[in-house]
Amino acid sequence: MVFPVRSIADMTIQNILSAILPGNTDGTVRHDWTETDARALMDAPFNDLIHAAQTLHRQHFDANEVQVSTLLSIKTGGCPEDCAYCSQSAHNEADVGADKLMSLDAVRAAALRAKDAGATRFCMGAAWRGPKERDLDAVCDMIAEVKSLGMESCVTLGLLDDGQADRLKDAGLDYYNHNIDTSETFYEEIISTRSFADRLDTLARVRDAGINVCCGGIVGMGETRADRADMLQALATLPDHPKSVPLNMLVAVPGTPLADIDPLDPLELIRAIATARLMMPKSMVRLSAGRLEMDAATQALCFLAGANSIFYGDTLLTTGNPAQHTDKALFDKLGVRPMPAENHADAVTATE
Ligand code: SAM
Ligand code: DTB
Ligand code: SF4
């Protein structure tokens, strides 16, 4: 693969791409990315970046398959954390009430509906700083219920203490979602009640318990392109690449401090997806929040850049997501098929 060199700066891109493209490597994934590498990739000419990402994507995945997960907020609102983007923080003024933890029956019914609609993974989110022991008992029952329906399970419950990840693993949990959200430098502009290091500690507990890590972040919170590159560099230098990397476009929720921020150019999200694909070639990259505001062409470019997973169903946690018939029509238009769970499992086992 030869990319035309236009300038000295382009030579850097060429070297990086040569180092990661098939035919130029021994097939292993890199864990030694520097921020300079990540920023150079992110700044590459758009067509080179997308072409390289799609080329690498095809080495590891069927380019016409997209994994489909469904989300459920099992405990909504009243969260003690002060995340500036979040509708569920008690520090913010969003129009979201504080509910109690959902019942097992209600969770089972929602999981069944998701399965019938074609989702292969069911992800349950709770607005907690972290789970209390009693909460964890209830969530473990929910995980067992989802597993009994033959679906993959994922939860996102905030920070975990010693031993809590093991309990989730014993209940049959497949994935734990815990995002680093942004670069370490920009983190304190967004959240003050916990640190970037706290997030890394929980990720280590999840990894050590043998649960698959789902970890990504948000773009469009006022960070720079360099921050986005640094966030991806942090993800790609974890001891193992996260099996799943959700990239969320900020949903600017009224009543949150970020409500009136200028929307990010979607091309910047597409650059971030392509860079994630290049740096973590065997990970699933999820085009997560923000699809309701994106047209079909933008989403098609996200898939071309290497995104291969979405949330399916008309709500995320508290905000909207495209209707199922809209996503079906999008898949049909693009000739994309939902990824069977076993294909995803193959991709996962092949990692590292
Ligand atoms: N409370 C848990 C935690 O923070 O880890 C789990 C739920 S939290 C809502 C899960 C993730 O959703 C956040 O880490 C963030 O990346 C994403 N998210 C939350 N609100 C969002 C918004 N308004 N726009 C885009 N992504 C958002
Ligand atoms: C993730 O990275 N995105 C999902 C999931 N993990 C839990 C959540 C998106 C939430 C969007 C805002 C809302 O619906 O409240
Ligand atoms: Fe709470 Fe999670 Fe929202 Fe932060 S992102 S306020 S921790 S629910």
Residue 124 CA, ligand 1 centroid: distance in Å: 12
Q: Check whether residue 34 and residue 118 sit in a common domain.
A: no
Mean pLDDT value across residues 186-202: 97
- Contact indicator for 235, 216 with CB cutoff of 8 Å: yes
pLDDT for the residue 342? 65
Q: Check whether residue 87 and residue 147 sit in a common domain.
A: yes
- Contact indicator for 202, 160 with CB cutoff of 8 Å: yes
Ligand 1 atom nearest residue 79's Cα:
1
Residue 101's SS3 state is coil
Q: Check whether residue 120 and residue 34 sit in a common domain.
A: no
Q: Check whether residue 346 and residue 226 sit in a common domain.
A: yes
Residue 134 has pLDDT above 70, yes or no: yes
Domain of 311: which CATH number? 3.20.20.70
Indicate if 140 belongs to the active site.
Answer: no
Strands 65-75 and 309-311: parallel
Q: Check whether residue 53 and residue 167 sit in a common domain.
A: no
192-197 long-range contacts (CB < 8 A, ≥24 apart) are 192/82, 193/80, 193/81, 193/82, 193/129, 194/81, 194/129, 194/159
Q: Check whether residue 77 and residue 180 sit in a common domain.
A: yes
d(CA 258, CA 222): 9
pLDDT in tens, 151-181: 999 999 999 998 999 999 999 999 999 999 9
Residue from 69, 19, 72, 65 nearest 41 by CA? 19
pLDDT for the residue 275? 97
Indicate if 79 belongs to the active site.
Answer: yes
Residue 299 CA, ligand 2 centroid: distance in Å: 17
The total domain count for the chain is 2
Q: Of 36, 58, 80, which residue sits at a domain end?
A: 58
Ligand 3 atom nearest residue 87's Cα:
3
Residue 246 CA, ligand 2 centroid: distance in Å: 9
pLDDT in tens, 201-214: 999 999 999 999 99
pLDDT for the residue 117? 87
pLDDT for the residue 352? 31
Q: Check whether residue 270 and residue 336 sit in a common domain.
A: yes
Is the minimum distance from the CB of 167 to ligand 1 under 6 angstroms? no
Name every residue whose Cβ is closer than 8 Å to that of residue 191 and which is 6 or more positions away in sequence.
81, 82, 83, 84, 181
Q: Check whether residue 148 and residue 195 sit in a common domain.
A: yes
Q: Of 42, 58, 74, which residue sits at a domain end?
A: 58
Name every residue whose Cβ is closer than 8 Å to that of residue 329 and which is 6 or more positions away in sequence.
none
Q: Check whether residue 175 and residue 293 sit in a common domain.
A: yes
Q: Of 43, 58, 73, which residue sits at a domain end?
A: 58
pLDDT in tens, 224-274: 999 999 999 999 999 999 999 999 999 999 999 999 999 999 999 999 999
Residue 73 has pLDDT above 60, yes or no: yes
DSSP codes of every residue in 229-290: HHHHHHHHTSSS--SEEEEEEP---TTSTTTTPPPPPHHHHHHHHHHHHHHSTTSEEEE-TT
Q: Check whether residue 45 and residue 166 sit in a common domain.
A: no
User: Domain residues for 41?
Assistant: 5-58
Q: What percent of the chain has pLDDT over 70?
A: 89
Is the minimum distance from the CB of 218 to ligand 3 under 6 angstroms? no
Q: Return the bridge partners of 249, or none.
A: 219
Q: Check whether residue 188 and residue 316 sit in a common domain.
A: yes
pLDDT in tens, 281-333: 999 999 999 999 999 999 999 999 999 999 999 999 999 999 999 999 999 99
Q: Check whether residue 141 and residue 106 sit in a common domain.
A: yes
- Quote the pTM value: 0.93
Ligand 2 atom nearest residue 216's Cα:
2
pLDDT for the residue 119? 84
Measured CA distances, 218 to 180, 223, 276 (Å): 9, 10, 13
Tokens of 224: 């720079």
